[in-house]
Structure 1
């Protein structure tokens, strides 16, 4: 089964830390994502400090798992020079690469959205001291407490050939 078909959001982790080697692999994969005009607008904040993880867990109701995750990678955007802003697409590709590499490493991960929700972005900026960077997403990462079966989401009715009828 491909990594894509194995990927599932994981919200419960053991206390085992994620190794520095695995963190580097996750970030290397993130930076291999395609980006418009090869701008690579991403930067990353690696958070392992328990107090900071607890603060991040309170940014939204969907971030609760950060209170017990051993790692958060906060994916943030730099400003770009082009008139058409394609950063959201670039950042989404980068986040997906992290999620897939997590599967490859036997880790669990969950994408926690921030952009474009202003309240979340303000809080993340304050917690992580982002200055002129824009928060895009947090990713909780760790060793899963259990493995769950992935449900196949394929739906033929959502596929259109040549044009929508």
Structure 2
């Protein structure tokens, strides 16, 4: 199993969460939401805790210092069972990294190591999920996670839109140029 060192991730009981910001103010509510991910093998982005995490941490194409503190916890939860985890576990860190790159958002120094270690774990976790059945949404999230982990933010964003229909249209355009 891929594991992330808990030594670098911001502890969920750290007072630092009260200093970090998200879309609605201080991030003191985020640790309780992240704790819920461990007990949910599958969920939907429209339900909590995902709805609140997305709303606060990847809000209207913006990311925040708390977003970078949350990613290692999302990836740690994903690492517990990548073969059964919902696609959102792959999608969330990919979107945070893509938006970070697009908007040139600085990561607080104390969060950098854990954040980049979490991203680096994503390709291995995608590989561990290879034996499961993938629908087009899972495929897009897995591709996006690998692209984000390798530093290709714009490709990560594009991969999230790459359904078979869009891929067919893209290939038509590509071959007609």
TM-score band, normalised by shorter chain:
under 0.3
TM-score (norm 2): 0.26
Instruction: Specify which structure has the higher proportion of helix.
Output: 2
Instruction: Specify which structure has the higher proportion of strand.
Output: 1
Higher relative contact order, structure no. (Cα contacts within 8 Å, ≥ 6 residues apart): 1
TM-score (norm 1): 0.27
